[in-house]
């Protein structure tokens, strides 16, 4: 039986990667670095800022790299006030309430970003808990963020499902023992399934998802 639904935030509840990508392009050009979408998808999407500073800004001292990352997040918060929930999310949240399922957001985004996005989406009070991986010893792809969500909700992994849009996030959820659906907003379905997703969908309206969900609550 299904007891809980766990959601990533960026690229899952809302498609924000176009804005993240544009801001990183702008700031990295100032550093003499040009990135394309393929580079961004591999080294930056879903990664904590510490990893981005290490892997992309290694030419800078750690303190300077983190200062640039914090500047990027501030620009994201300034420019990201108008956001739209991913298609079908409202229906899924109503379905969740009808079936009395616990919910959590599990994100590698900084807390200020997560709170801004949830407020902009009018979802600030829609989830039982929000797990910020930067506040844990390990972030995604380590399973700890999803393990923490399961612990807070007091549900076993086999009674939860997760929605994730990156291979990194999928590995985190699957590593915690949670069946995971890929959200093909930033990566192709094949890439997400290769990372361990059970299947992948473009948004929450897909008939395949609803048939699978109904089977989970009636089995």
Asked if 43 and 52 touch (Cβ cutoff 8 Å), the reply is yes
Alpha-carbon distance of 148 to 108, in angstroms, equals: 13
Catalytic center residues? 8, 10
Length of the chain as a residue count:
219
* Closest to 19 in 3D by CA, of 86, 107, 78: 78
CB neighbours of residue 137 within 10 Å: 7
The single residue listed with the structure tokens 């009636």 is 218
∠ Cα 161 143 180 (to 5°): 25
Strands 179-183 and 129-132: unpaired
Alpha-carbon distance of 56 to 66, in angstroms, equals: 11
Instruction: Please report how many Cα atoms fall inside a 13 Å half-sphere around the Cα of residue 178, on the Cβ side.
Output: 35
């Amino acid at each position: 039986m299904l007891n809980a639904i766990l959601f990533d935030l960026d690229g899952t509840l809302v498609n924000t990667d176009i804005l993240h990508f544009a801001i990183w392009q702008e700031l990295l050009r100032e550093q003499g670095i040009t990135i394309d979408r393929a580079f961004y998808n591999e080294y930056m999407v879903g990664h904590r800022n510490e990893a981005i500073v290490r892997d992309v800004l290694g030419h800078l001292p750690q303190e300077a790299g983190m200062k640039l990352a914090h500047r990027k997040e501030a620009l994201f918060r300034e420019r990201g006030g108008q956001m739209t929930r991913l298609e079908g999310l409202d229906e899924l949240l109503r379905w969740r309430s009808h079936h009395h399922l616990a919910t959590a957001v599990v994100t590698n985004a900084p807390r200020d970003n997560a709170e801004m996005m949830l407020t902009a989406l009018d979802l600030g009070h829609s989830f039982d808990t929000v797990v910020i991986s930067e506040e844990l010893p390990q972030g995604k792809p380590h399973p700890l963020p999803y393990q923490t969500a399961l612990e807070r909700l007091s549900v076993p992994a086999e009674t939860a499902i997760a929605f994730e849009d990156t291979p990194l996030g999928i590995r985190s959820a699957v590593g915690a023992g949670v069946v995971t659906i890929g959200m093909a907003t930033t990566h192709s379905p094949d890439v997400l399934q290769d990372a361990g997703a059970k299947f992948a969908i473009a948004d929450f309206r897909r008939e395949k998802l609803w048939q699978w969900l109904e089977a989970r609550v009636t089995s």
